[in-house]
Amino acid sequence: MRIIHAKNYDDMSRKAANIISAQVILKPDSVLGLATGTTPIGAYQQLIAWHQKGDVSFAEVSTYNLDEYRGLKHDEPQSYHYFMNEQFFSSIDIKPAHTHVPDGSNPDAEAACAEYDRLVEAAGYPDLQLLGIGNNGHIGFNEPDSVFSKGTHCVDLTESTIEANSRLFNSPDEVPRQAYTMGVQTIMQARSILVIASGSNKAQAVFDMCKGPVTPACPASILQLHPHAIVVADEDALSLF
């Protein structure tokens, strides 16, 4: 696992965007696995700026997002489908048909997850998977558990994750209690993985991911076993190293 030190959030975002843009420039039809949340926004903004300057095109790229809240339709402002359009897709030249997010509006969890697994497998899995990391070490919505998850599945969100994500809702009570998420095994199929982290509240999770035992109690720790995993984190997130 390669660790890249960044000075702060802006530096982390630029360094992450550099890695993503290099992937797309070298392989214009790249399959990208993407993440939501506040951490990747800076990287998306940097990629948008470079696209608008003509430095990078996403016209041939296809994307597969990690997760979606169960019970939210695509056009609901708190959905991850809506988030990706607002924060990234609507400002670049990617084809809408080439963007994919689990269908949170499908109440049949088994069918929704099986269909998303089929789509990701048919795409050949991501060339580059972007990940954030939760305060409890989760990746996607794969929460701490006794085993590592496999394919896309429906997960009950922990209270810490609900609280962390409540900033995007009017109150924690409005946060859905379940989500559809790519499994750890699916994430590990990506040819390269980029994890980004910022802030002292992520310090313990980043340390456990990189230096702790490989255990489903910290789902991100399995990335130690990936042959091409890069962590870009700022000084606060790396403060325990």
What are the catalytic residues? Answer: 67, 136, 138, 143
- Please answer whether residues 138 and 218 qualify as being in contact, where contact means their C-beta atoms are separated by less than 8 angstroms: no
Amino acid sitting at position 121: E
For the beta sheet containing 153-156, the strands, ordered from the edge strand earlier in sequence to the opposite edge, are 67-69, 178-181, 153-156
Q: How far apart, in whole angstroms, are the C-alpha atoms of residue 72 and residue 223?
A: 30
**Residue 194 in 3-state DSSP?**
strand
Torsion over CA: 151, 155, 159, 165 (sign)? positive
**Residue 239 in 3-state DSSP?**
coil
Q: Which of 123, 22, 115, 17 is nearest to 64 (CA)?
A: 123
- Please answer whether residues 80 and 69 qualify as being in contact, where contact means their C-beta atoms are separated by less than 8 angstroms: yes
- Please answer whether residues 104 and 71 qualify as being in contact, where contact means their C-beta atoms are separated by less than 8 angstroms: yes
- Please answer whether residues 93 and 133 qualify as being in contact, where contact means their C-beta atoms are separated by less than 8 angstroms: no
Q: Which of 63, 13, 8 is nearest to 34 (CA)?
A: 63
Q: How far apart, in whole angstroms, are the C-alpha atoms of residue 31 and residue 190?
A: 9
